[in-house]
Structure 1
Amino acid sequence: MTPAHFEKTPAHVGKPSLRRQLLAARALLSTEDVAAAATVLAGHAVALPELARAHTVAAYVSVGREPGTRPLLDALRARGVRVLLPVLLPDNDLDWGAYRGADSLVPAGRGLLEPDGARLGVHAVLEADAVLLPGLAVDGQGMRLGRGGGSYDRVLARLAGAAPG
């Protein structure tokens, strides 16, 4: 589904229906398309001023047909950036751990990958100079549509409560 299609989606279409449509569209992507997009995404992202000057970045490990983040995670780490990755807690909140390379990722629940090693706490995200969130779509006003678990809504609420740095 293209961004233009998302913008034209009727308001009466509910979030669950829209999520199903977007996930179905992602499922049509080939493995090659996903890998190529990950490389392009990493190239564009590392050039962003917010990431170029960041010392700590909170990000996520993409899975399945999500836009790939692993080349970006490795590029940031190669530049000496501290990368924080989420660890899903039983209540759907997110703890955080440091990314130490692809070999440090371990399987977690729901098909996710998370960093092994020490947990830094739910407030560790506040140490990040930039935060990259997953989402199925974002509208023209910047409203994010996630998977519906509320994990990143909690992160955004924490960030909104933080004093600007």
Structure 2
Amino acid sequence: MRRSDLMTAVGVRLDHLAIAQGFAASPERWPVAPRFDADERWYHRLAVTDDYEVWLLTWLPGQGTEIHDHGGSAGAFHVFRGTLTEDTVGTGGGTARVVSRELGEGTGRRFGEHHVHRMTNLSTQPAVSVHVYGPALTTMTKYRLGPAGLEVLTVERAGAQW
């Protein structure tokens, strides 16, 4: 995949979804095969550049993330196999609003640098997804929904917690 093929029409911003789809289209080029762990979600960084990083994640039924952001990084994800449910948290007028969407095999979506969400495998089958973040993740804030809206639980740092 050529870098120029991943630029948007404006020509200045990488198309993170196109990158995720490109990696998903060539699993034979992944440095590792997906693995599944009954105790926790498995993940492996497939690539890193000056502009973005690519992660491979696996999800057994019932596994998911907490509500989190990406520390100011934009990105995208692509469901390689299975089905995932994304709960996107938006805040407006002082209240938090959750929108759920089910994403099946071959689907994905882009998100901006202020995206807050949770992803879960609510299906009965394992799932595999490819995620792209640009720039590379440095922090992730985990939240919970409280009476006052989003409440910070922890801030994790790359190299320390993952």
TM-score normalised by the chain length of structure 2: 0.31
Higher relative contact order (CA 8 A, sep 6+): 2
Q: Which has a greater percent of strand? A: 2
Q: Which has a greater percent of helix? A: 1
TM-score normalised by the chain length of structure 1: 0.31
